């Protein structure tokens, strides 16, 4: 079901279950996420907050309670940190506020079996699908670095691994190979070039996984969906809040670096059909890395720093495989706007990967240089 199938009456009926202040003025579909459905609930009372209602895709997030408990635990930890040691540096930074139901639960299961949760809406904020300035990139890098830093002393075993193997490339390759073997819709013949590209780079792409298997990378609490549009900025491009915490769980820190870079450096949209528009904006890469390492060098091990480079290539490659797997399987995972949407997304991500791959040396140098600057 898409957001358009949910009537205003249905949304109002759902909202009535949550402990909101004021009264509903209007409801409207919001955001551009591929998995959940989001609605902005505006308030008649200007002294009360607006709200963001989300229907959680429970076909993907099967343990909804685990998801919201993870979010609540992480948000509490971040709030405590921001109120104490981090307060003096950046007092504007905020944390997501979950609004409980009237019965005190962090989510609602409705009579149709749908799952809902609500946040306080952060006013006067913007998020960017396409990044245009090095200031945005630097601030975003710093924010994700601080996010990881503030969580570095929280025990990862306090969180449930709600999506097991989410960023495990071996698992993604197995899923892809299974889809290809079944080839339910006969789509494999359209993607021979993409299959060849996947095979060519498989070994390199498994090297981050291998570092983990070899015990070189600690499991920490990571965000796992660090698309750049999951950062809310104010009108002066200062970060207000990191959002979309559905996937916070134990992971390797390089996951968050790789996924942020994937969405940040691309000069085109994630689903740009004209691949000639896709290139790497290297000044943005440099600024993000600078901001990120300024914070993250406070806790990263040398092996973790080394792993960042691998993630720069792994994330567009793995994202392309995930889109392609969904295309071959018949588009059951990501929302699509037209029949070949997942194929277009695949090609656009592979183009980004190729452009990054062609600049391996420069990418390595930029990480090294910013590591040096942050260590001074």
Q: Which residues bind Mg ion (CB under 5 A)?
A: 33, 230, 244
Residue in 110, 108, 7, 115 with CA at minimum distance from that of residue 60? 115
Counting beta carbons within 10 angstroms of the beta carbon of residue 132, is it exposed (0 to 12), middle (13 to 18) or buried (19 or more)?
exposed
52 sits near ligand ADP (criterion: CB under 6 A)? yes
User: What is the rounded CA–CA span in Å between residue 249 and residue 186?
Assistant: 36
User: What is the rounded CA–CA span in Å between residue 150 and residue 140?
Assistant: 15
Write the DSSP assignment of 116-172 as a string of letters: EEEEE--TT-B--SS---HHHHHHHHHHHHHHHHHHTTS-GGGS--SSTTTT-HHHH
Please list the residues that pair with 54 across neighbouring strands. Answer: 38, 117
Q: What stretches of the chain adopt beta strand conformation (E)?
A: 24-29, 37-43, 51-56, 98-99, 108-109, 115-120, 220-222, 231-233, 239-242, 249-251
Site string for ligand GN1, 3-42 (x = CB under 6 A): ------------------------------xxx-------
CA 101 from centroid of its chain's CA atoms: 26
| Binds ligand GN1 by CB under 6 A, chosen from 50, 93, 225, 326 | 225
User: What is the rounded CA–CA span in Å between residue 356 and residue 350?
Assistant: 10
For residues 30 and 171, which CB has a smaller minimum distance to ligand ADP in the complex? 30
| Binds ligand ADP by CB under 6 A, chosen from 17, 22, 31, 362 | 31
Which one of 59-67, 117-125, 172-180, 307-315 is the stretch in contact with ligand ADP (CB under 6 A)?
A: 117-125
| Binds ligand ADP by CB under 6 A, chosen from 3, 10, 17, 38 | 38
244 sits near ligand GN1 (criterion: CB under 6 A)? yes
Cβ of residue 164: shortest distance to ligand ADP, in angstroms? 19
Which one of 120-128, 199-207, 266-274, 330-338 is the stretch in contact with ligand ADP (CB under 6 A)?
A: 120-128
243 sits near ligand ADP (criterion: CB under 6 A)? yes
Contacting residues toward ligand GN1, per CB under 6 A: 33-35, 60, 225, 227, 244, 247, 270, 319
Contacting residues toward ligand ADP, per CB under 6 A: 30-31, 33, 35-36, 38, 52, 96, 119, 121-122, 125, 127, 229-230, 232, 243-244
């Amino acid at each position: 079901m898409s957001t358009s199938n949910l009537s205003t009456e249905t949304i109002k009926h759902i909202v009535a279950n949550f402990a909101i202040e004021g009264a509903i003025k209007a409801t409207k579909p919001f955001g551009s996420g591929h998995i959940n459905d989001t609605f902005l609930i505006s308030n008649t009372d200007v002294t009360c907050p607006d709200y963001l209602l989300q229907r959680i895709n429970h076909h993907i997030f099967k343990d909804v309670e685990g998801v919201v408990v993870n979010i609540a635990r992480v948000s509490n930890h971040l709030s405590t940190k921001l109120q104490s040691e981090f307060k003096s540096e950046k007092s504007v930074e905020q944390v997501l506020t979950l609004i409980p139901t009237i019965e005190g639960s962090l989510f609602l299961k409705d009579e149709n079996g749908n799952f809902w949760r609500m946040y306080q809406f952060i006013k006067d904020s913007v998020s960017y699908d396409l990044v245009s300035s090095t200031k945005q990139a630097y601030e975003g890098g710093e924010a994700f670095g601080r996010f990881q830093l503030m969580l570095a002393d929280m025990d990862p075993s306090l969180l449930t691994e709600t999506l097991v193997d989410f960023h495990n490339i071996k698992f993604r390759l197995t899923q892809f190979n299974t889809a290809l073997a079944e080839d339910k819709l006969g789509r494999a013949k359209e993607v021979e070039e993409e299959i060849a590209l996947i095979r060519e780079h498989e070994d390199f792409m498994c090297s981050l996984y291998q570092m983990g298997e070899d015990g070189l990378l600690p499991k920490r609490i990571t965000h796992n969906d660090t698309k750049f549009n999951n950062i809310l900025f104010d009108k002066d491009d200062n970060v207000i809040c990191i959002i979309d915490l559905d996937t916070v769980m134990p992971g390797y820190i390089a996951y968050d670096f790789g996924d942020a870079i994937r969405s940040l450096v691309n000069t085109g949209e994630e689903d740009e059909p004209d691949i000639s528009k896709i290139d790497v904006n290297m000044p943005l890469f440099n600024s993000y890395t600078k901001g990120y390492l300024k914070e993250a060098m406070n806790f990263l091990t040398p092996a973790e720093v080394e792993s960042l480079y691998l993630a720069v290539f792994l994330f567009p490659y793995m994202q392309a495989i995930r889109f392609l797997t969904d295309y071959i399987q018949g588009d059951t995972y990501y929302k699509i706007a037209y029949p070949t949407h997942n194929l277009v997304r695949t090609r656009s991500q592979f183009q980004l990967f190729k452009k990054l791959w062609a600049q391996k040396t420069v990418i390595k140098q930029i990480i090294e240089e910013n590591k040096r600057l942050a260590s001074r």
